[in-house]
Amino acid sequence: MINFTVGPVQSCDAVRAIGAEDVPYFRTSEFSAVMLENERLVLKFAGAPKDSKCVFITGSGTASMEATIMNVLTPEDRALVVNGGSFGDRFCKLCDIHNIPYDVIKLETGRQLRESDIEVIAKDKKYTAFIVNKHETSTGVHYNMALISDYCKRNNLLLIVDNISSFLCDDFNMSELGADVMIAGSQKAIACPPGISLIVLSPRALERVTKNDPKCMYFDLKDALANQLRGQTPFTPAVGTLLQMNARLKEIESAGGVAVEVSRAKELAEYFRSKIKDLPLEIVSESLSNAVTPLHPTNGMSAYDIFLKLKDEYGIWVCPNGGEMKDRIFRVGHMGCLNETDYDKLLAGLKEIMK
Ligand SMILES: *Cc1c(COP(=O)(O)O)cnc(C)c1O
């Protein structure tokens, strides 16, 4: 199998080797050291401002999205939410459930965010927070963070960024953007099994968490933050995945750090995109992340049939789209342990299927 989906993705050998071992007991100084090192490396790779903290949640990315909404915002807030696909929609649903007032910037599939989109909605209104999925993975649109950051700085908004599929694939620096929250997940470009998500909190976000009182035990971040001070978690975490994450983060660090990892993803994405020029495939996003290429077959074939054929006849997994996009769009990921030879095999398969 070669896996080009958007997660879980392929892991490197060091991560896979840990997966083959027994999971150790975790209330030990050894495991605490691993957790503190994970926090240090995530804060570094996120460009987090001084005195930021990172907590690790056992639960997929959505768990950390929900914990963020519950702990960082209150019904006294008013948020602006970018909704350009199913992950933007998820933030709207979370705000509904937790009674956070918000307005939506709704974007058609594939469309980049423009300044006028914000202005039309935000005209004469006062907001306290801005919520965005930096890369809307469902459609493959990578939002203009400079525009968002500038708007938030000018209007003093708290900036919450779901960076789940863009972390380690595209440039991102919390300090430069003035971002207050960054969310990531273990099964995207962190390239580990699913089960862990993480939340980086700036001092401004931490202050909000301290004052807030969410009606939930498992997702009370005050408890998680207090435990993480000594490298622990309130409840049993996905210990094995956290150990794997440690191996992966250290590997990135010793290979030159986050900039090197981002350029590796960029080179893979560019390699694939340069080779599809002769195929009846059209890229359907106004702004691409290095993480994913969303493609529309222009020869009349169903995108879903291409996904099935590649899976069943070639052992190659691309990522199908859901709902109304099912027959129109499939996605090819550039996350995880992949190389140019893998893409050559995918391209050869596509060539045969689409001729
Ligand atoms: C994958 C992803 C999530 C989280 O999905 P889970 O299935 O809960 O891990 C959230 N936002 C974006 C942008 C994603 O790509």
Within this chain, domains 14-254 and 256-354 share the same CATH topology? no
Q: pTM surpassing 0.95?
A: yes
Atom of ligand 1 at shortest range from CA of 65: 10
Atom of ligand 1 at shortest range from CA of 63: 8
Q: Which is it for the CA torsion 71, 77, 80, 85, positive or negative?
A: positive
Q: What is the DSSP string of 131-172?
A: EEESEETTTTEE--HHHHHHHHHHHT-EEEEE-TTTTTTS--
Largest CA distance in the chain: 61
In angstroms, what is the span from residue 223 Cα to ligand 1's centroid?
Answer: 24
Annotated domain spans of the chain = 14-254, 256-354
pLDDT by residue, tens only, the chain of 355 residues: 999 999 999 999 999 999 999 999 999 999 999 999 999 999 999 999 999 999 999 999 999 999 999 999 999 999 999 999 999 999 999 999 999 999 999 999 999 999 999 999 988 889 999 999 999 999 999 999 999 999 999 999 999 999 999 999 999 999 999 999 999 999 999 999 999 999 999 999 999 999 999 999 999 999 999 999 999 999 999 999 999 999 999 999 999 999 999 999 999 999 999 999 999 999 999 999 999 999 999 999 999 999 999 999 999 999 999 999 999 999 999 999 999 999 999 999 999 999 8
Give dist(CA 200, CA 240) in Å, integer.
Answer: 21
84 lines ligand 1 (CB under 6 A): no
Question: What CATH number was assigned to the domain covering residues 14-254?
Answer: 3.40.640.10
Using only C-alpha atoms, what is the Rg of the chain?
A: 20
Give dist(CA 65, CA 48) in Å, integer.
Answer: 18
Please give the CATH architecture assigned to the domain spanning 256-354: Alpha-Beta Complex (3.90)
Atom 12 in ligand 1: residue holding the nearest Cα: 164
Ligand 1: which of 86, 91, 164 to mutate, judged by most atoms within 8 Å of the beta carbon? 164
165 lines ligand 1 (CB under 6 A): yes
Atom 3 in ligand 1: residue holding the nearest Cα: 61
